[in-house]
Amino acid sequence: MIAGICGVGDSRGLMDTRLQSADARQDQRKRRHILFLQGPASPFFLRLGKALRARGHRVGKINFNLGDQLFWYSGATSYRGRFSRWAGHLARRLDEEGVTDLVLFGDCRSYHRTAVELARARGIAVHVFEEGYLRPDWVTLEQGGVNGFSHLPETAADIRRLAAAVGETLAPVKTGSGLRNRVVWDIVYNLSTAFGRGLFPFYRHHRPWPVLLEYACWLKRLAVMPLEKRRSRRTLARLATSEPGFFVFPLQLDSDFQIRVHSDLHSMEEALEVIVASFAAHAPLTDHLVVKSHPLDNGLVDRRRQCRRIARAAGVEDRVLFIDGGNLMRLTCDAKGMVTVNSTSGMVALEQARPVAVLGRAVYHVPGLTHQGPLDRFWAAPPRPDPELLADFVQLLKARALVNGSFFTETGLAAAVEAAVGRIEQILPQPLPAAEIETQRARRSRAVAAGAVLAE
């Protein structure tokens, strides 16, 4: 009898504990203190903050320059101190205010790298936004890190296992391009940051070039763009009559953290030298390599001249073609395959069942999706992606690493805010074991040491 009574008491106690735990989790979802750092040059963070505040969460924001202030103009504080004091300032704020969540755009900026490390050590949930792994209609939102710091699975078996537990995703809202807003907001943000330097004298920008120099180069590029488009049309017409085929190499930006952190190559010039040399030595003699400029390249480096020089040195000047413009999707559809450092263009190629060789670290660089092994072996027998594995990977991306929307259109902003609120509320802050913190710190240190001289 005593044993029976004790058993009943234990069960009730256990049930009470579970109910209290469930209540605590629900209460934690309701009462979050969410701190925003730098966001995209867009009203997105401001609208997301308002939506989270309307849901009952406490929301804060730290601005680092005048551009930040223009895109989050109320209810924010400013950090005007030296970078050397940033860690101490943020640590005190995280502890004193009981911050539960950190929201930021890009996890490789100097201020953000420090913030992520401090948050991890405290069990604070870190929500990282970036440009979408799939485009258009999607933006990236991952917990803990993106790109080379992503927690997405790296094996086919794990992808298939996790995808099997994911339900069907709804058809995405079509967001539109928003190119005009993107350009205007970028100019407003960067010029404000440059001319507001007196208000934030110690701010350290993450971009390697002075913004005024970049815009001056852009004006020059715009002036010669009609000529470049005519050249590209002639090149594409020549390509259409060539036999038997071609590979495409989409250029990335030297300033992109994908190159500076998540690659062992330090620049597009170095990438060109590696790829062209391999192509010259191992590709079929009848094939061409099409080098496509990045649409947001500022023109500071003459990529056409650089490409011609490297191709001439490798003895394949007549087989390496440079284009500035053109439709990447159409170009990739006709190509034998794509070579990339780690551009999201790789996903464009995979979705068209094109073979892809990756030289850096990319979330889609998985056995069964991309070429594995030395680049020299890619040209003669490029392997196509496994269509079923690709479908599982895309499904997993949409469920765990993407939200439908855009930073630059009204339709896209509304969709992204709604989806991001739901995703953020799903994730509860959870302290990491010390071993995991050390593993993540070592991973980031290796990535920086491997390739990145970060602009400070």
pLDDT of residue 431: 57
pLDDT of residue 430: 61
Strand bridging mode 356-358 / 125-131 = unpaired
Q: For the CA atoms of the chain, what is the radius of gyration?
A: 24
Tens-digit pLDDT profile for residues 162-184:
999 987 777 899 999 999 999 99
pLDDT of residue 391: 96
Q: How many residues does the chain have?
A: 456
Q: How many CB atoms lie within 10 A of CB 15?
A: 10
- Tokens of residue 128, six digits: 């990282």
The backbone torsions φ and ψ at residue 123, rounded to the nearest 5 degrees and listed phi first, read 70, 20
End-to-end alpha-carbon separation of the chain, Å? 72
pLDDT of residue 20: 44
State which residues of the chain have pLDDT below 70. 1-30, 241-243, 430-456
How far apart, in whole angstroms, are the C-alpha atoms of residue 265 and residue 339? Answer: 14
How far apart, in whole angstroms, are the C-alpha atoms of residue 54 and residue 160? Answer: 38
Annotate the chain with three-state secondary structure.
Answer: CHHHHHHHHHHHHHHHHHHHHHHHHHHHHHCCEEEECCCCCCCHHHHHHHHHHHCCCEEEEEECCHHHHHHCCCCCEECCCCHHHHHHHHHHHHHHHCCCEEEEECCCCHHHHHHHHHHHHCCCEEEEEEECCCCCCEEEEEECCCHHHCCCCCCHHHHHHHHHCCCCCCCCCCCCCCHHHHHHHHHHHHHHHHHCHHHCCCCCCCCCCCHHHHHHHHHHHHHHHHHHHHHHHHHHHHHHCCCCCEEEEECCCCCCHHHHCCCCCCCHHHHHHHHHHHHHHHCCCCCEEEEECCCCCCCCCCHHHHHHHHHHHCCCCCCEEEECCCCHHHHHHHCCEEEECCCCHHHHHHHCCCCEEECCCCCCCCECCECCCCHHHCCCCCCCCCHHHHHHHHHHHHHHCEEECCCCCHHHHHHHHHHHHHHHHHCCCCCCCHHHHHHHHHHHHHHHHHHCCCCC
How far apart, in whole angstroms, are the C-alpha atoms of residue 213 and residue 221? Answer: 12
423: left (phi over 0), alpha (psi -120 to 50) or beta: alpha
- List of domains in the chain: 30-181+402-451 (3.40.50.20), 241-393 (3.40.50.2000)
Q: Which of 247, 228, 224, 211 has its CA nearest to residue 375?
A: 247
pLDDT of residue 10: 44
The backbone torsions φ and ψ at residue 357, rounded to the nearest 5 degrees and listed phi first, read -110, 130
- pTM of the complete model: 0.85
Look up tokens 């009574």; give the residue.
5
How far apart, in whole angstroms, are the C-alpha atoms of residue 106 and residue 120? Answer: 16
